[in-house]
Amino acid sequence: MAKRDYYEVLGVPRNADEMTIKKAYRRLARAYHPDVNRDDPESEEKFKEVTEAYEILSDPQKRQRYDQFGQLGYEESRYRSPFGFDTFDMFGDVFNMFFGSPFATGTRTRPSSRGSDAGITTVITFEEAAFGTQKEISLESQVRCPGCNGRGSAGDAGLIQCPQCWGTGQVRIHKRTILGDFVSSHTCSQCEGRGEVIERPCPECRGTGRVTQKSKLRIDIPAGISSGSRLKLSQKGNAGFRGGEYGDLYVAVEVLPHEIFTRDGYDVLSEEKISISQAALGAEIEVMTLDGPERLYISPGTQTGETIKLRRKGIPHLNGHGRGNHQVRLVVETPKDLSSEEIKLLRRLAEIRRENVGDGTPDFLQKIKSVFR
């Protein structure tokens, strides 16, 4: 399937400036973010599409190449010529030979690179999710090498010119095609475009500037958090390559189910059984809430399924303002194993109300069935 035009994806004109592109991306990223649209799988694809468009159009060099060549310059599976060479590279090489590359920036140096993000899951109770808590988590991540402080070199040894590319970060490759011989430049594989290599790599990290380490970290979990939420801890992820900044740590929160309560947004739901007498005559009972026992008043004539709301006894709002409610669903419980006195009283009630009832014995149903045999 052909990809949509990146300008169309962001909803901006082709002459849009950097600020217009950034504003469009922020608006669409918020609208399609997976954390906001957990029940809409299409939103994740739209979010990826918006992010891809912004990645290209926010970079002047990538945008210039996109404007000139379109998707051809960025597809992983580009058209391959039947003659055995890359069609796009060939014409790019010819263009560079006569006019110079409009995208060349000289030696590409990347002395360091940002570390990757890390992820971990922590499990908390229903009450901890409601009121917030602190958790200690165990991590195994990459940290800056203590032996070289992230430099990657041993002792005072420094960087030397790469012997493969002679410090340019690029290697020139000769290609022989049906149109003649061409020369192209590619990133040096030995120094990865940096133009320099470590003279004597650190023996602890082998030149990477980072080592794997186990550690413990205490994190604050805010009140009102829900299961499936993710917390972002900036620069608590993996160390960067050769002194690069740390990535971020994402903590996924899983909330254990409760024996009594369930959750609906910021409301707490529970179920309470009451007797026929309490339902008919009304009563005052005690129910359990997140804050402890609470008195609940039942009106006469209450039916199964009716709900009583305890205001501001639910989950605290994540922003710190207000709380949800606690909704108690009432279930009228029919008594079993009645005593003879209880049967007499109920039969008397049935007579007063002119209701047709059984005799209250377990074999009553069998007697009814025998009549129709």
Q: Say which CATH number the domain at 182 has.
A: 2.10.230.10
Structure tokens at 131: 């009121």
Are residues 247 and 139 both part of a single domain?
yes
Structure tokens at 326: 């606690």
Are residues 169 and 214 both part of a single domain?
no
114 marked as part of a ligand binding site: no
Are residues 1 and 67 both part of a single domain?
yes
Q: Residue 277, CB half-sphere, CA atoms under 13 Å: how many?
A: 6
Are residues 233 and 134 both part of a single domain?
yes
- Number of domain units in the chain: 5
- Can you give the pLDDT of all 373 residues of the chain as single tens digits? 456 788 889 999 988 888 899 889 888 888 887 777 777 778 888 888 888 888 888 888 888 777 765 654 444 333 333 333 343 444 444 343 333 333 433 333 345 688 899 999 999 999 999 999 999 999 999 999 998 888 888 877 677 888 888 888 888 887 766 666 677 778 888 777 878 888 888 899 888 889 999 999 999 999 999 999 999 999 999 999 878 899 999 999 999 999 999 999 999 999 999 999 999 999 999 999 999 999 999 999 999 999 999 999 999 998 888 999 999 999 999 998 889 999 999 999 999 999 898 877 666 545 545 544 5
Q: Which range of residues forms the domain containing residue 355?
A: 341-372
203 marked as part of a ligand binding site: no
Q: Which amino acid is at 303?
A: Q
To the nearest 10°, report the CA torsion of 285, 287, 291, 297: -40
24 marked as part of a ligand binding site: no
Does 85 fall in a domain?
Answer: no
146 marked as part of a ligand binding site: no
Are residues 14 and 126 both part of a single domain?
no
353 marked as part of a ligand binding site: no
∠ CA 116-187-94, rounded to 5°: 135
Are residues 136 and 245 both part of a single domain?
yes
Are residues 265 and 250 both part of a single domain?
no
Are residues 236 and 302 both part of a single domain?
no
Kindly report the CATH number assigned to the domain that includes residue 270: 2.60.260.20
162 marked as part of a ligand binding site: yes
Are residues 2 and 67 both part of a single domain?
yes
Are residues 44 and 138 both part of a single domain?
no
∠ CA 24-27-28, rounded to 5°: 85
191 marked as part of a ligand binding site: yes
272 marked as part of a ligand binding site: no
Does 78 fall in a domain?
Answer: no
Are residues 133 and 241 both part of a single domain?
yes
